[in-house]
């Protein structure tokens, strides 16, 4: 594992068999990943279902506040409640930012009943330099069983996320590449 002062690089390559799946590599760790239902794209747009191609840094993280499971992490994972959301309304001033619920504009709820956001990392895609309609809420999160496609995020199994979390920290780069 990468124990140096560098935050490390996680590489995600698209599967040659299915553009909605990928292979993730971090040092000696190799794992399957789910990608966006539209595969990957260089020209990401809000709602296109594609995972952005390129480099994204880990900014922060969150976890399901109802869970009693603990996963050690160098990224501080704030505990979500039913008051946590993420704005995905391009015309709103809070576009691609966390918001407090209830919230009048289009948003995603971060506390979910499925496993997807049991553990999630916020990736710096269209956040540090926001551009309207260029995509929002690109997270690295837990995949549903069988790795069905995401709406644009990168997802791995819960077991793999728990294995990987202790090695990631703010600034770790996730690189998404074609096959």
> CA 127 to CA 2: how far, in whole Å?
26
CATH number at residue 52: 2.40.440.10
Residue 10 contacts residue 26 (beta carbons within 8 Å): yes
Give a yes or no: residue 1 inside a domain: no
Question: Nearest to residue 131, comparing CAs of 36, 46, 37, 42?
Answer: 46
Per-residue pLDDT of the chain (179 residues), as tens digits, is 544 446 799 999 999 999 999 999 999 999 999 999 999 999 999 999 999 999 999 999 999 999 987 789 999 999 999 999 999 999 999 999 999 999 999 999 999 999 999 999 999 999 999 999 999 999 999 999 999 999 999 999 999 999 999 999 999 999 999 97
Give a yes or no: residue 155 inside a domain: yes
Give a yes or no: residue 3 inside a domain: no
- What total of structural domains would you count in the chain? 1
Domain hosting residue 77, numbered range: 9-177
> CA 98 to CA 87: how far, in whole Å?
6
> CA 6 to CA 10: how far, in whole Å?
12
Give a yes or no: residue 79 inside a domain: yes
Give a yes or no: residue 118 inside a domain: yes
User: What pTM was estimated for this model as a whole?
Assistant: 0.95
Backbone angles phi, psi at 11, to 5 degrees: -100, 130
Q: Residue 158 has what DSSP assignment?
A: H
């Amino acid at each position: 594992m990468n124990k140096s002062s560098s935050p490390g690089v996680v590489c995600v390559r698209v599967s040659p068999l299915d553009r909605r799946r990928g292979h993730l590599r971090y040092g000696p760790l190799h794992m399957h990943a789910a990608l966006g239902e539209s595969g990957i794209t260089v020209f990401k747009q809000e709602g296109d279902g594609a995972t952005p191609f390129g480099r994204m840094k880990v900014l922060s993280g969150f976890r399901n506040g109802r869970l009693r499971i603990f996963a050690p992490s160098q990224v501080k994972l704030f505990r979500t409640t039913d008051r946590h959301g993420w704005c995905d309304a391009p015309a709103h001033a809070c576009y691609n930012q966390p918001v407090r619920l209830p919230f009048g504009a289009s948003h995603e709820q971060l506390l979910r009943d499925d496993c997807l956001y049991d553990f999630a990392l916020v990736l710096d895609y269209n956040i540090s330099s926001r551009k309207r309609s260029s995509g929002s809420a690109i997270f690295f999160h837990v995949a549903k069983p069988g790795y069905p496609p995401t709406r644009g995020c990168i997802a791995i199994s819960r077991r793999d996320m728990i294995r990987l979390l202790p090695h990631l920290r703010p600034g770790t780069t996730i690189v998404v590449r074609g096959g």
